Structure 1
Amino acid sequence: MNPTDTASPAPRPWRRLAAVLLLLALLWAVFEFTGLRARINPQALRDGFAQHSVWGFVAFTALFALGNLIQLPGWIFLASAVLALGPVWGALATFCAALVSCVVTFFVVRAFGANALRELPGPLARRLFARLDAHPIRSVALLRLVFQTVPAMNYALALSGLRFRDYLLGTLIGLPGPVFVYAAFFDTLAGWMGWTLR
């Protein structure tokens, strides 16, 4: 084997990670400098639902997906949906939008970064990926229970080489519980604070 063949793949994971970071920085800059990021707030999202429920949901889902890519916290979307639709429908709308968001993040990040994290050297990475490979669906489900749709976790899972099927099934299993719990919490909080619902 040619010695240059073994040396050339080394920087590839770092280049892929750099491509992902550049993409996320560009998306953030577009959102920030166009003023769109400042317009994504609970009142604006709630007004979107009030004006037209179907198109409001489509816009809500698209903004959730884009917001997840630029590190916007998911509670903004959940609180908005609960205030606009109530705890049950708000939770259902948020779950559907969050699922779409997780799928979009997976494919966008995977397209640019492939399985860059799995290619990184080191015993710690090998141990982590061995655990993930042993129980991929359960691992994703447990991560969703704790971290829900935290963008950094979505990026890491997309770059881990995890199969999409396992990613999706783990998300479907682990995400509904926290979404409905937080929806009930926001509904109770809104009642305590006297915020107008629906």
Structure 2
Amino acid sequence: MPAPITREQTRADREALLDAAETLFYGRGIQAVGMDDVRAASGLPLKRIYRIFAAKEDLVVAMLRRRDRNWRGNLAAHVEQVPDPRDRVLAVFDWLAGWFAEPGFRGCAWINAHGELGASSPAVLAEVRAHKQAFHDQIAAWVRAAGSSAAEPVFLLAEGAIVTAGITGDPAPARHARAAAAALLTTPF
């Protein structure tokens, strides 16, 4: 009889699944990736995968949720090391420029997921909306701390830069959005 699976092993298997899913879903698209692909990339049998995530949709939602924590956490770590509140807002665009220049950059994982599944999966749509709201709130807090009321346009500049860079494959939209954000921060709104 096989040994029972420990909590630690379940956590490790879950992380391996999320790592494989994130790489595959972000790199190739959610619908283009089958669970056999996830099995091969994670090294886990399908039976084990479905014990951890009962459906592919559950795996997608968990992957987006974890990516949100990591993505926004990395952004915050970068921005919050900048001492000046105005420069913190501009640091958002510096961080985005670095992300856009990474090998394998394919735009926003949440926009991509919304495009593929947003109309057919309420769970994915809810996760996409939760991420966008959290990103909005993060930017709004930094903009308010800089003494500006331009949170909405700065957020839209960041979102527009992400989408444009994802489509064009060019990191320049971050630089252009940064310049526009700098102008907004110096103009009474």
TM-score band by shorter chain is 0.3 to 0.5
Q: TM-score, normalised by structure 2?
A: 0.32
Q: TM-score, normalised by structure 1?
A: 0.31
Higher relative contact order (CA 8 A, sep 6+): 1
